[in-house]
Chains A and B, each alone.
Chain A
Amino acid sequence: MTVRPSEGKRAEWRLGWLLCAPAAIVMVAVTAYPILYSVWLSMQRFDLKFPDEREFVGLSNYITVLSNEYWWTAFGVTMLITVVSVAVELVLGMGLAVVMHRTLVGRGLVRTSALIPYGIVTVVAAFSWRYAWTPGTGYLANLFTDGAPLTERASSLAIIILAEIWKTTPFMALLLLAGLALVPDDLLKAASMDGATAWQRFVKVTLPVMKPAILVALLFRTLDAFRVFDNIYVLTAGANETSSVSMLAYNNLLRGLNLGIGSTMSVLIFITVAIMAFIFVKLFGTAAPGSRDEGRR
Chain B
Amino acid sequence: MVTHTGTWVRATAAAVALLLLGPMTACGSDESGVPTINFYYAQEQNLQKVVDDCNAEAAGKYRISYQVLPRGADDQRVQMVRRLAAEDSGMDVLGLDITWTQEFASADWILEWTGANKSEAEQGTLAGPLESAEYEGKLYAAPKNTNVQLLWYRTDLVPQPPTTWDEMIQQALDLKQQGKPYQVITMGAQYEGLVVLYNTLVASAGGHILNDDGTKAVFDEGAVRGLEILQRFASAGVTHPSFTNTIEDDARLQFQNGEGAFQLNWPFVYPAMQEGAPDLAAKVRWARYPGVDSGTPSKVTIGGYNLAVSKYSKHPDLAFEAALCLRNAEHQKFSAINDGVPPTIESVYNDPEMTKAYPMKDEILAELRDAANRPLTPAYQNVSTVMSATLSPPASIEEEKTAKELRGSIQDALESKGVLP
Contact = CB atoms under 8 A, between A and B. Distances in A.
A247 B158 CA distance: 47
Interface stretch (B141-149, B175-183, B352-360, B376-384): B376-384
B299 to A, nearest CB: 27
A255 B385 contact: yes
A71 B81 contact: no
Contact of A251 (B82, B417, B421): B421
A148 B420 contact: no
A213 interface: no
Contact of B421 (A48, A243, A260): A243
Interface stretch (B42-50, B102-110, B231-239): B102-110
Contact of A49 (B82, B416, B419): B416
A48 B420 CA distance: 15
B117 to A, nearest CB: 25
Nearest to A45: B416
Interface string A47-74: 1111100000000000011001011000
B78 A255 contact: yes
Interface string A244-257: 00001001101111
B2 interface: no
Contacts of A50: 106-107, 378, 416
A76 interface: no
Nearest to B417: A64
A47 B107 CA distance: 9
Contacts of A32: none
Given A50-B378, A51-B108, A255-B74, A261 B81 contact: no
Contacts of B385: 255-256
A244 B271 CA distance: 41
A118 to B, nearest CB: 28
Contacts of A70: 419-421
A238 interface: yes
A247 to B, nearest CB: 10
A151 interface: yes
A239 interface: yes
B419 A254 contact: no
A166 B266 CA distance: 42
B254 interface: no
Contacts, number: 63
Interface string A221-261: 00000000000000000110001000010011011111011
Nearest to A241: B421
Nearest to A264: B419
A78 B101 CA distance: 35
B33 to A, nearest CB: 35
A256 B416 CA distance: 8
Contacts of A48: 81, 85, 107
Contacts of A47: 416
A48 B106 CA distance: 9
B155 interface: no
Contacts of B77: 255
Contacts of B245: 148, 151
B335 interface: no
B190 interface: yes
A260 B107 CA distance: 15
A152 to B, nearest CB: 10
Contact of B81 (A64, A65, A257, A260): A257
A70 B420 CA distance: 8
Contact of B382 (A151, A243, A256): A256
Given A49-B378, A260-B416, 15 more contacts: A45-B416, A48-B81, A49-B103, A50-B416, A64-B419, A68-B419, A70-B419, A70-B421, A71-B419, A238-B421, A248-B420, A255-B77, A257-B381, A258-B420, A261-B419
Interface of A: 45, 47-51, 64-65, 68, 70-71, 148, 151, 238-239, 243, 248, 251-252, 254-258, 260-261
* In the A-B complex, the 6 residue pairs with the closest CB atoms: A47-B416, A68-B419, A49-B378, A256-B420, A70-B421, A252-B420
15 contacts: A48-B85, A50-B378, A65-B419, A71-B419, A243-B421, A251-B420, A251-B421, A252-B420, A254-B78, A255-B78, A255-B381, A256-B416, A257-B85, A258-B416, A261-B416
